[in-house]
Amino acid sequence: MIAIEHMCCGYQDRPVLFCEHALFPAGKVTGIIGANGSGKSTLLRAIEGLVSYEGSITIDGKESARMTPKERACLISYLPQVSPAVNLTVRELVSHGRFAHLGISRILSEKDRRIVKHAMEQTDVSHLAGRTLKEISGGERQRAFLAMAIAQEAKMMLLDEPTTGLDIGHQKEVMNILKDLAGKGIGIIMTLHDIPEAFTVSDHLVLIGREAADTRSTVLATGTPDEILHQQEILKKCVGTGIVRTCIPGQLVDYVLVNGSTEETGD
């Protein structure tokens, strides 16, 4: 579990985001939503130790800022939104996910190779194993980086817009993979720009917005999708619109955005 208390983070002494209190449980999918530039990615970067902060961010009861990179990598994996086309094969990239568990030699054991193979199979990139990241599409590259994060076998996984660049079919597959990982006890924390999708796939939501008189963003609400449905004014403050649950069979998502009434819709 990741716990945040009285935390303020930012860049070069410029506060960007404040969070009074938030919990990110293991075994659950937590979706972080908010307007562009609200600090969603900054929150992930603060947890990962890439952004300085005041207050407390603990991972399994240990303060994140006091951990070594290797200690943190054994507990959390991080997949940023931009996946660079580095000169590695897909297999080499996914193997990097095992480095936190290896010694100085960084020689993969048979167990490590099995984990890498399984991660590539889960994300449908096995057929790309021998190709370099520069030779594959952006969507394929995104899935390769996801495989690396899975191979890391951390207790918590941070993902910044994990379905960016993916077609509808692979978006659904990625979400199914993440739900399956959560079912196995891994905590999934991800930013999402598609609000109906966030409500559909998340067990828990974190809403980031900005109070009128404040230059920094704030975590304004946390809760299950059903709990957030009863906080429409806060939701509108964070994403500029309301949302309702739908009862229409066959839809890919269970919610729709609305500007007017927030009554539940259906046939």
Tens-place pLDDT, residues 54-103:
999 999 999 999 999 889 999 999 999 877 777 899 999 999 999 988 87
Phi/psi for 60 (5° steps) reads 55, 40
125 pLDDT higher than 50: yes
* pLDDT tens-digit map of 6-43: 999 998 878 999 999 999 999 999 999 999 989 999 99
* pLDDT tens-digit map of 203-251: 999 999 987 767 789 999 999 999 999 999 999 999 999 999 887 766 6
Nearest Cα neighbor of 120 from 101, 80, 93, 158 is 93
Q: Note whether residue 235 is domain-resident.
A: no
Q: Strands, DSSP E only, in 87-197?
A: 156-160, 187-191
Q: Note whether residue 244 is domain-resident.
A: no
Q: Note whether residue 266 is domain-resident.
A: no
Here the CATH number for the domain that contains residue 149 is: 3.40.50.300
Q: Note whether residue 247 is domain-resident.
A: no
Q: Which residues contact 233 (CB under 8 A, 6 or more apart)?
A: none
Q: Note whether residue 64 is domain-resident.
A: yes
- The Cα 224–Cα 211 span in angstroms is 22
Q: Note whether residue 21 is domain-resident.
A: yes
Which residue intervals of 38-137 are DSSP H helices?
40-48, 69-75, 90-95, 110-122
The residues pairing with 158 across neighbouring beta strands, listed in sequence order, are 78, 189
* pLDDT tens-digit map of 98-124: 998 887 777 899 999 999 999 999 999
- Total domains, the chain: 1
Q: Note whether residue 263 is domain-resident.
A: no
The residues pairing with 41 across neighbouring beta strands, listed in sequence order, are none
Q: Note whether residue 239 is domain-resident.
A: no
Q: Which residues contact 179 (CB under 8 A, 6 or more apart)?
A: 29, 188, 201
- The Cα 74–Cα 31 span in angstroms is 22
Residue located via tokens 């030779």: 135
Residue located via tokens 């924390």: 189
Domain of residue 209 covers: 2-224
* AA identity, residue 71: E
